[in-house]
Amino acid sequence: MTQASIDWHESAERFHPRQQAVIGGELVDAVDGATFSATSPRDGTVLAEVAACRTADVDRAVASARRAFDAGHWSRSAPAERRRSMLRFARLVEEHADELALTVSLEMGKPISDARDIEIPALVKTLTWYAEAADKLLDELPRTGADALAMITREPVGVVAAIVPWNFPLTMAGWKLGPALAVGNSVVLKPAEQSPLSALRLGELALEAGLPEGVLNVVPGLGHEAGQALGRHDDVDVVAFTGSGEVGRELLRYAADSNLKRVYLELGGKTPNIVFGDAPDLAEAAATAAWGITFNQGEMCTAASRLLVQRDVHDDFVSQVLDAITSRRLGDPLDTATQIGPVVDETQLRRVLDYVAIGLDEGADLRLGGGRTLPDTGGSYVEPTVFTGVRPDMRIAREEIFGPVLSVLPFDDLPDAIRIANDTVYGLAASVWTRDLTTAHTAARALRAGTVWVNCFEEGDLSVPFGGMKQSGTGRDKSLHAIDKYVDLKTTWIAL
């Protein structure tokens, strides 16, 4: 069925999400029967009462993951067998794309078109890519003297805890699951409390695909309960986390206080989007700047939240950006024409509005938006917002807002742009628009960011790593490099 022919509102009426945790191959309630409400930011309605996993449930999940790992049906299976299972898993996700897209859209407010055309395909591609990689990885034989044979082998670490956020609930889960599963680990997935439903369905589909019980467990629950229990668990070998810096710091503390598990962090950003007057196509750059701060409601770690514009084209460029943002359609995420949905919940909405107040206090010029909108829906909708006259020392230029709030800063020349762009604790991504080869290369080298885009934004594919420098993180997702997080290197030295 094509997307246009689906009545998403009618599908939402019939929506009956899973509510139980997936542990040891079974769907189970929390040990103490506790639940929490999954609420839709679309209209404030409660979608489900979901098992609230706590320490006892996490203990069960980790024990089942460990049993599965030790049993070896997955961890020691032939890589080609894991490839086949993961391809089946990817196919099942694809077959359930509409249902999963609806789930994501309802639970966290992503426009249905983006959920269906971007979020679910990203998960399918990720699972497929790592499935295909599973039986193509090689180990190493270093050259030794004739009296020895040395082997460097990669062994799965064991039990991986994947703790993920709500903004791309399935893509982020896939970036952890793909490489972790491909090399034979067992995983306990902890979705964000705002988006547990899609993850629960994913756990169920993994079982249907034939992943052995215990290989993928899903424990919905609150961060300081289920998340903390995983972070402190003595039998978790690796924590792979995407989320805020604040929680990232907690996870490092938990690891220090427990078994020194390895912790990989994918954290926030304050992406500088740098537009030089000689950009090849200023209209395209303006449309991209508008997209970059409103796509996914600006709830994106790479959101193009700092727009640096060369002074000689500043005013004209800003007016193009304002037009482009205004032309993006905000509304019910279940309408296929909607391009901007609600932010994830009331807490996030308040956070965004607080930053608007901060920007006004700091003396920035509010050029667009700044308020709550569509209040009659009961949902958490916020107007796309643009500040100009922003100085690098203002909080709206320094802190991650995680909403559709754009801060525009003028600059004079290349050194000025680099200085402003790098004046941040973050280093996730940056974008540069210029037709000058020297400017492009000099900027790409000088920018302290895990990814630099030139004359584009948010481009890439699974073959390239993604992650941050500085306080944006400590590991890389995607690409073969991600696999390093989920293996231990073993040296075997044989005297001949």
Residues identified as active-site: 266, 301
Q: How far is the CB of 264 from ligand NAD (least distance, A)?
A: 11
459 burial class (0-12, 13-18, 19+ CB within 10 angstroms)? exposed
Binding of ligand NAD by 276 (CB under 6 A): no
Binding-residue pattern over the window 83 to 122 for ligand NAD, x denoting contact by CB under 6 A = ----------------------------------------
- Between 25 and 269, name the residue whose CB sits nearer to ligand NAD: 269
Binding-residue pattern over the window 282 to 321 for ligand NAD, x denoting contact by CB under 6 A = -------------------x--------------------
d(CA 175, CA 154): 19
Cα–Cα distances in Å, from 312 out to 218, 278, 290? Answer: 53, 10, 20
Q: How far is the CB of 174 from ligand NAD (least distance, A)?
A: 12
Cα–Cα distances in Å, from 340 out to 117, 288, 300, 331? Answer: 15, 15, 13, 6
Q: How far is the CB of 163 from ligand NAD (least distance, A)?
A: 5
> How many CA atoms, within 13 angstroms, populate the side-chain half-sphere of residue 115?
32
d(CA 264, CA 328): 36
Binding of ligand NAD by 267 (CB under 6 A): yes
- Single out the segment in contact with ligand NAD by CB under 6 A; choices: 261-269, 304-312, 377-385, 456-464: 261-269
Question: In this structure, which amino acid lies at residue 30?
Answer: A
User: Residue count at the site for ligand NAD (CB under 6 A)?
Assistant: 30
Contacts with 434 (C-beta within 8 Å, 6 or more apart), sequence order: 276, 278, 279, 280, 440, 443, 454, 455
d(CA 234, CA 423): 38
Binding-residue pattern over the window 211 to 250 for ligand NAD, x denoting contact by CB under 6 A = ------------xx--xx--x----------xxx--x--x
Binding-residue pattern over the window 169 to 208 for ligand NAD, x denoting contact by CB under 6 A = ---x-----------------x-xx---------------
Helix (H, G, I), strand (E, B) or coil at 387: strand
- Between 85 and 228, name the residue whose CB sits nearer to ligand NAD: 228
Beta partners for 152? 140, 491
Q: Tell me how crowded residue 417 is: count the other CB atoms within 10 A of its CB.
A: 26
d(CA 12, CA 37): 17
Residues 383-422 binding ligand NAD (CB under 6 A) are: 400, 402
Q: Pick the binder of ligand NAD from 428, 430, 432, 449 (CB under 6 A).
A: 428
d(CA 291, CA 294): 5
Residues forming the site for ligand NAD (CB under 6 A): 163-167, 172, 190, 192-193, 223-224, 227-228, 231, 242-244, 247, 250-251, 266-269, 301, 400, 402, 428, 468, 473
